[in-house]
Structure 1
Amino acid sequence: MSTPAVSSRDLPHPTRAEIRLEGVLHALSDPMRLRIVRELAADGGELTCSHFDLPVTKSTSTHHFRVLREAGVVRQIYRGTAKMNGLRRDDLDDLFPGLVDALLGAAARQADRLGG
């Protein structure tokens, strides 16, 4: 049986087993990346890259999404010409129970405290 051809538009993602805690924490240590994750968690679905109104250049935004994808925090897939982003909540909750909720809660409290 032959395997399906991989599209040049398919993006590499770590498997669940390859996701490492230190990689996730590094990815979420940047305020822009944490902001992306907070928006994805609040939406609960998939959002396009252009949905996010980040105060950075397009190339910097692309870098942030790549770091999140390579750490296993988000899954990115192409739907037509749109690159869709979804939080890998099930994988993260299975590997690190309570981590995502704790980080999102802490980020929300910090935003409230700092007025942002």
Structure 2
Amino acid sequence: MSEPEVLPHPDRAEIKVDQVLQALGDPVRLEILRAVATAPPEGIACGEFPLPVGKSTRTHHLRILREAGVITSRIVGTRRMINLRREDLDALFPGLLNGVLTALPPD
């Protein structure tokens, strides 16, 4: 079996706080953040959580989060698996993720 294809994302040193904050400044992307923050270690498939947008808009929001360094995406078979880059973000910006997640209203 071949290794999953990891989609391009910034290295830890390339993640910038302004890009992360801009990526998290959208309600749909905050919903994605909530979903990936509670996902199992293997991640969550991009279509496994409800969002109030169509497929192409979902893809756009996931790309924004990936390019900002908030998530990683990898292709496993026919699924795109998403993981939160918690370790990287916590190392670079201590408390940021916890603060954002705590401030989100309950589902």
TM-score normalised by the chain length of structure 1:
0.83
Shift of 1:10: 4.3
> Does 2:75 match 1:78?
yes
Q: 1:14-51: CA deviations, max 9, x gaps?
A: 00000000000001000010111111112243000111
| Distance in structure 2 (CA, Å) of the matches to 1:94 and 1:50 | 29
Runs of 4+ aligned residues of structure 1 deviating over 2 Å after TM superposition are none
Corresponding residue number in structure 2 for 1:3: none
| Distance in structure 1 (CA, Å) of the matches to 2:37 and 2:59 | 19
Query: Partner amino acid for 1:90?
Result: E
Corresponding residue number in structure 2 for 1:35: 31
| Distance in structure 2 (CA, Å) of the matches to 1:10 and 1:104 | 26
TM-score normalised by the chain length of structure 2:
0.90
2:47 aligned counterpart, secondary structure: helix
Instruction: Choose from 2, 7, 10 the match for 1:11.
Output: 7
Say which structure, 1 or 2, has more relative contact order (CA 8 Å, 6+ apart): 2
- Alignment size in residue pairs: 103
Unaligned runs of 5+ in 2: none
Query: Partner amino acid for 1:94?
Result: A
1:39 aligned counterpart, secondary structure: helix
| Distance in structure 1 (CA, Å) of the matches to 2:103 and 2:76 | 33
Corresponding residue number in structure 2 for 1:4: none
| Distance in structure 1 (CA, Å) of the matches to 2:58 and 2:92 | 27
Identity of aligned residues (%): 51
Between 63-72 and 47-56, the greater mean CA deviation after superposition: 47-56
Unaligned runs of 5+ in 1: 1-6
Computed over aligned residues only, the root mean square deviation of the Cα atoms, in angstroms, reads 1.5
> Does 2:86 match 1:89?
yes
> Does 2:104 match 1:99?
no
Structure whose alpha-carbon radius of gyration is higher: 1
Change (3 A) 1:88 1:10: closer
1:77 aligned counterpart, secondary structure: strand
